[in-house]
Structure 1
Amino acid sequence: MKTLLIVDLQNDFLPGGALPAPDGNQIIPVVNNIMDKFDLITASKDWHPEDTVHFEKWPVHCVQNTPGSDFPNELETGKIDTFLHKGTKNTDDGYSAFEATNINLDNFLKEKGVTELYVCGLTTEYCVKNSVLDALSHHYKTYVIKDAVAGVKAHPGDEDKAWQEMKVAGATIITSENI
C-alpha cells in the first residue's frame, strides 16, 4: 500500500503565518498533484495548547482551534484519510508525526499493512526530519519528496544538515515526478 504522510502543512507555517517556511506555499500544488498516486493519505497537525513550554523555544503557532492551526484552503483536504494531532500537551514539543496523541501512527500503519511511507510537508529541519527519522526507526521504507517539502530556515545551514541526516539514516530522497 502506497502511503503519503503530509507533515504540518498548516497556515502558521506558510508565508504570513507565525512561524513561516518562506517557500511553503510553493509545495501546496505539488502535494495536491501527488495525492492521487497514493492508496492512503495521512496528515499531521501541530496542535498546541496555549500554555505549552514549546513556546519558550518558538513563537506562538498552531494553537488548537485557531486559524493558524488550520490547513490552507488550497490544500485538497477531502483526499486525506486520517488526521493526526501532535504537540497536544503543555510539556510536549511534538516534532514527529509518530508522536501523535489521537492515533498511534505506527500501529495504524501496521494495521493497514503499510511498509513504504512517502513524506512531504513542513518544515524540513524539524517536523519533517523527525517524522522521517521515526519512520525509519519503525522500519518503514521511507521516501522524502524533496519538491513537496520546505524549510523554516531559522538557522543558516540547518536545512542542508536535515537533508543529509535523513539520507544518512536511510531515507530515499525523490522528487514528485519519480513517485
Structure 2
Amino acid sequence: MPLIDPHPTDALLLVDIQNDFCPGGALAVGGGGEVVPVANRLARLFGSVILTQDWHPPDHRSFASAHPGMSAFATTTFAYGPQVLWPDHCVQGTQGAAFHPDLDVPMAQLVLRKGFHRGIDSYSAFFENDRTTPTGLAGYLRERGFRRVVLAGLATDFCVAFSAEDAVRCGFEAVVVEDGCRAIDLQGSLDAAKARLASAGARLVRSADIAGS
C-alpha cells in the first residue's frame, strides 16, 4: 500500500530545479538533471505545485567572488552565523537561473523567488538564512488550507532539507521524496541533513511510495 496518498491539502514543493544546479551549471549538483523526470511525474499527482527559484543579485555576499582571497566552498561567518561561500550562481535574469528546460510543470500555481537580499543567503523556501526573515510561503500555505508539504529538487542537503525542516517548524507535515532529490554532500552535509530531518520529524520516502506513481 502506498505510504502517501495525494490529498487536496497537500502541496508539492519543487525546489530550485534550475540550470546552474544541473550538469554544466555554475554550481552543478551531481546527477542534478535526474530529478527532472521525477518532478514532472510528481507534479501530475498533486493538485497544487509550487516552484522555488534561487534568484541572486550579481554581487550577492554569499558568492566567493565577493570575498577576495577566499575560495568557493570555504566557510566564513556572517552576522547570522556560518555561511558557505559559493561560486556565482543563479544570478537574476541569467540562463543559469532559469528552470531546467525539461522541467514540464505548467500547472504550477506559484513561483517563489529567494536569495534576492544581497546580504543574506536563502536555503529554505520559508526563511532566509538569518532564520527570521520570512519568504511568505508559510502564510500562503496556511491561507490556502494546506497541511502537508511534499518536497523534491536540489539540493537534498541544503535547500530541500532546510525547507523541510522549516515546513515542520511552521506547523506543516513534511515529506521528502529522496529519489526526486540529489545532494551536494559537502563535508558530510548529507548525513547531517538526514539527521536533522529525522530529528524534526520529516519523513523520507521514494516516489514509488506515492499513490499513482
- Mapped contact 1:47–1:62 kept (Cα < 8 A): yes
Report the counterpart of residue 40 of structure 1 in structure 2: 48
| Runs of 4+ residues deviating >2 angstroms | 99-103
SS state of the match for residue 89, structure 1?
coil
The gaps in structure 2 that reach 5 residues or longer are 1-8, 65-84
Q: Percent identity between the aligned chains?
A: 37
Instruction: Choose from 77, 82, 85 the match for 2:105.
Output: 77
* In 1: Cα distance, 2:184 partner to 2:56 partner: 18
* In 1: Cα distance, 2:105 partner to 2:113 partner: 15
- Mapped contact 1:19–1:152 kept (Cα < 8 A): no
- Mapped contact 1:115–1:141 kept (Cα < 8 A): yes
TM (norm. structure 2) is 0.80
TM (norm. structure 1) is 0.94
Alignment of 1:106-125 (within 5 A): 106-125=138-157
Report the counterpart of residue 171 of structure 2 in structure 1: 139
Instruction: Choose from 67, 78, 101 the match for 2:95.
Output: 67
Report the counterpart of residue 170 of structure 1 in structure 2: 201
Report the counterpart of residue 158 of structure 1 in structure 2: 189
Alignment of 1:84-99 (within 5 A): 84-99=112-127
* In 1: Cα distance, 2:121 partner to 2:134 partner: 15
**Deviations for 1:48-71, whole angstroms, at most 9, x for unmatched residues?**
001110103110000000000000
Greater share of helix: 1
The gaps in structure 1 that reach 5 residues or longer are none
| Count of residues in correspondence between the two structures | 178
- Mapped contact 1:21–1:153 kept (Cα < 8 A): no
Farther-moved stretch of structure 1 (109-118 vs 92-101): 92-101
